[in-house]
Amino acid sequence: MTLAGRHLISINDFSNEEIEAVLNLADEMSSAIEKGKRLDLCQGKELYTIFYEPSTRTRSSFETAMHRLGGTVVTHAEAQVTSSAAKGESIADTIRVLERYADIIVMRHPLDGSTRLAAEHSSVPVISGGDGAHEHPTQTLLDLYTIRKEKGAIRGKGVALCGDLRHGRTVHSLVIALARFGAEITCIAPPDFGLPDHIRDILKAYRCKLTEYESLEDIVAEGSLVLHQPRVESRESRVESRGGRGTPERSVSRLQTGFMSFLLENLDVLYFTRLQRERLPTGKIGDAAEESYRINRQLLEKSRDDALIMHPLPRTNELAYEVDQDKRAAYFRQAGYGVPVRMALIALLLGAVETRVSEWPKRKTPKLAKDVSGVRCLNPRCVTQAERYATAKFYPVNPQLLRCYYCDWMVQVV
Ligand code: NCD
CATH code of the domain covering residue 35 = 3.40.50.1370
Q: Does 356 map to a domain? A: no
pLDDT tens string 67-109:
999 999 999 999 999 999 999 999 999 999 999 999 999 999 9
- Ligand 1, closest atom to CA 53? 3
pLDDT at 412: 93
Q: C-alpha distances in angstroms, 374 versus 370, 377, 390, 393?
A: 12, 10, 13, 11
Please report whether residue 79 resides in a domain: yes
* Active-site residue, 58 included: yes
Q: Which of 49, 58, 145, 341 to mutate to test the pocket of ligand 1 (most atoms within 8 A of CB)?
A: 58
The residue from 6, 76, 136, 311 that is catalytic is 136
Q: What is the pLDDT of residue 138?
A: 98
Q: What is the pLDDT of residues 164-175, one digit of tens each?
A: 999 999 999 999
Q: Do 79 and 126 share a domain, yes or no?
A: yes
Backbone angles phi, psi at 158, to 5 degrees: -85, 115
Give the per-residue pLDDT at 212: 83
Shared-domain flag, residues 126 and 150: no
Q: CB atoms < 10 A from the CB of 237, how many? A: 14
**Quick one: 156 and 224 in the same domain?**
yes
Cβ(181)–Cβ(156) under 8 Å?
no
Looking at the fold, whether 111 and 22 belong to one and the same domain comes out as yes
**171 found inside a domain:** yes
Q: Which domain holds residue 385?
A: 367-414
Beta strands 410-412; 269-272: pairing state: unpaired
Asked whether residue 224 is domain-assigned, the answer is yes
**Residues 126/91, Cβ–Cβ less than 8 Å:** no
Looking at the domain assignment, is residue 82 inside a domain? yes
The number of folded domains in the chain is: 3
The answer to whether position 149 is within a domain reads yes
Q: Identify the weakest region by mean pLDDT among 28-42, 122-136, 285-299.
A: 285-299
Catalytic residue of the set 6, 7, 59, 108: 108
- Closest alpha carbon to 260 in 305, 306, 224: 224
61 CB near ligand 1 (under 6 Å): no
Q: How far is the CA of 97 from the centre of ligand 1 (A)?
A: 27
pLDDT for residue 250? 36
**Atom number of ligand 1 nearest to Cα 57:** 8
258-268 confidence digits (pLDDT tens): 556 667 788 99
* Confidence tier at 239 by pLDDT (50, 70, 90): very low
Tell me, yes or no, whether 162 and 235 share the same domain.
Answer: yes
108 is annotated as an active-site residue: yes
**Between these two residues, 371 and 336, which has the higher pLDDT value?**
336
Of all residues in the chain, the percent with pLDDT exceeding 90 is 71
> Domain of 396: which CATH number?
2.30.30
Contact 107, 75 (CB under 8 A): no
Q: How confident is the model at residue 237 (pLDDT cuts 50, 70, 90)?
A: very low
> Which pLDDT does position 261 carry in this prediction?
67
Mark whether 175 and 282 lie in a shared domain.
yes
What pLDDT shows up at residue 340?
A: 98
The helix (H) or strand (E) run that includes residue 252 is: strand 252-254
Q: Look up 136 and say whether it is catalytic.
A: yes
Q: Which of helix, strand or coil describes residue 150? A: helix
For 285-339, write each residue's pLDDT tens digit.
777 777 777 888 888 888 899 999 999 999 998 999 999 999 999 999 999 999 9
